[in-house]
C-alpha cells in the first residue's frame, strides 16, 4: 500500500513538472512558468503566459524568499504593479503600459508614509510630481505637500513651488528644459518675501534682492552668467544696458 501511495505522489509531481515552463507550437511561453534564480533553487518569479503574453498575476521574489513585486495584468498592454519592502509593506504602486510606467505612481517609506506622487507617460515623468512631508502622516494622518514640480517628457518644465509644513509658500519659480528660468522667490516662514533671485538657462543672471519683513530691499547683488559682478563691473554693465535699452535681468 505504501509503495502504491509513493508511486501516486511521484507521478503527480512528475505530471506537475511536465506542465510548467512549456512552449507552444510557435516556441512561445505558454501556461504556468516558474523561474528560479540562476545557480540556485530560489524562486525568481512565477506566472502564466498565453501564447507568449503574460496574463493574470505574476509574482517576483527577493533572493531571501519575500515577495518583491506583484503584477496584475489587466490586458495585453496594461498592468497594475505593486513593489514591496522585504517586510511585506508596500514600497510603490502604479500602472504600466507597454511595459513602461504610466499614469499615477505612489511611493512610500518603510513605515507606510507617502513619500511622493508622480505621473508618467511612456516611462518618463510627465505632469506633476508632488513630494510630501513625512512628519505627522502616521501619527496624525496629515498629508502636507513639501514641493510640486512639473515635468514634460522627463524634463522639468513649468512652475515649481515649495511649501512649509504649515502650508505657507516657501519658494516659487519656473523651469525650462530642466533649468531654472526667470524669477525665483523665496519666502520667510512668517510669510514675507525673503529674497528674489533671477536665472537664465540655469545660471544666476540679473538682480538678486534681499528684503526685510517690511518689504524693503536691504541688500542686492548683480549676476551675469553665474558670476557675481563687483561694483565696477556692475556699473559698467548697467551703463551698457541703459545705452542699449536692455533689461539687466534679461
Task: Give per-residue pLDDT as tens, 172-200.
Answer: 999 999 999 999 999 999 999 999 999 99
* pLDDT tier at 17, thresholds 50, 70, 90: low
**Mean predicted confidence (pLDDT) in 77-92:** 97
Whether residue 1 has pLDDT greater than 70: no
Q: Which three cell numbers stand for residue 115?
A: 513619500
* pLDDT tier at 19, thresholds 50, 70, 90: confident
Q: Which three cell numbers stand for residue 25?
A: 507550437
Delimit the CATH 2.20.110 region(s) of the chain: 87-178
- Chain segment 138-165, per-residue pLDDT in tens: 788 899 999 999 999 999 999 999 999 9
d(CA 57, CA 47): 6
Q: Which residues pair with 59 in a beta bridge?
A: 46, 70
Whether residue 11 has pLDDT greater than 90: no
Comparing CA positions, the residue from 244, 240, 175, 237 lying closest to residue 206 is: 237
Whether residue 240 has pLDDT greater than 70: yes
- Chain segment 21-31, per-residue pLDDT in tens: 999 999 999 99
pLDDT of res. 139: 81
- Chain segment 43-61, per-residue pLDDT in tens: 999 999 999 999 999 999 9
- Model pTM score: 0.86
Beta strands in 9-99 (DSSP E): 22-23, 29-36, 43-50, 53-61, 67-73, 78-84, 90-97
C-beta separation of 147 from 161 below 8 A: yes
Phi, psi dihedrals of residue 61, rounded to the nearest 5°: -125, 150
The 3-class secondary structure across 104-159, one letter per residue, is EEEEECCCCCEEEEEEEECCEEEEEEEEECCCCHHHHCCCCEEEEEEEECCEEEEE
Q: Which three cell numbers stand for residue 3?
A: 509503495
Q: What is the CATH number of domain 87-178?
A: 2.20.110
Cβ-based neighbours of 50, under 8 Å, separated by 6 or more: 30
Amino acid at each position: 500500500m505504501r509503495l502504491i501511495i509513493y508511486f501516486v505522489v511521484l507521478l503527480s509531481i512528475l505530471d506537475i513538472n511536465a506542465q510548467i515552463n512549456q512552449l507552444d507550437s510557435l516556441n512561445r511561453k505558454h501556461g504556468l512558468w516558474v523561474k528560479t534564480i540562476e545557480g540556485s533553487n530560489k524562486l525568481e518569479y512565477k506566472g502564466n503566459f498565453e501564447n507568449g503574453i503574460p496574463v493574470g498575476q505574476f509574482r517576483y521574489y527577493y533572493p531571501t524568499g519575500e515577495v518583491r513585486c506583484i503584477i496584475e495584468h489587466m490586458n495585453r498592454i496594461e498592468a497594475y504593479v505593486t513593489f514591496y519592502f522585504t517586510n511585506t509593506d508596500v514600497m510603490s504602486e502604479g500602472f504600466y503600459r507597454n511595459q513602461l510606467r504610466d499614469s499615477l505612481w505612489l511611493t512610500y517609506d518603510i513605515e507606510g508614509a507617502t513619500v511622493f506622487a508622480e505621473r508618467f507617460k511612456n516611462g518618463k515623468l510627465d505632469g506633476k510630481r508632488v513630494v510630501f512631508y513625512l512628519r505627522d502622516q502616521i501619527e496624525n494622518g496629515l498629508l502636507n505637500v513639501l514641493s510640486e514640480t512639473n515635468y514634460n517628457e522627463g524634463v522639468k518644465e513649468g512652475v515649481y513651488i515649495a511649501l512649509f509644513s504649515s502650508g505657507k509658500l516657501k519658494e516659487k519659480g519656473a523651469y525650462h528644459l530642466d533649468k531654472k528660468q526667470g524669477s525665483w522667490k523665496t519666502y520667510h516662514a512668517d510669510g514675507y518675501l525673503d529674497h528674489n533671485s533671477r536665472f537664465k538657462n540655469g545660471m544666476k543672471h540679473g538682480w538678486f534682492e534681499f528684503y526685510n519683513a517690511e518689504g524693503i530691499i536691504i541688500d542686492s547683488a548683480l549676476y551675469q552668467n553665474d558670476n557675481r559682478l563687483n561694483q565696477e563691473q556692475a556699473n559698467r554693465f548697467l551703463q551698457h544696458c541703459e545705452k542699449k535699452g536692455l533689461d539687466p535681468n534679461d
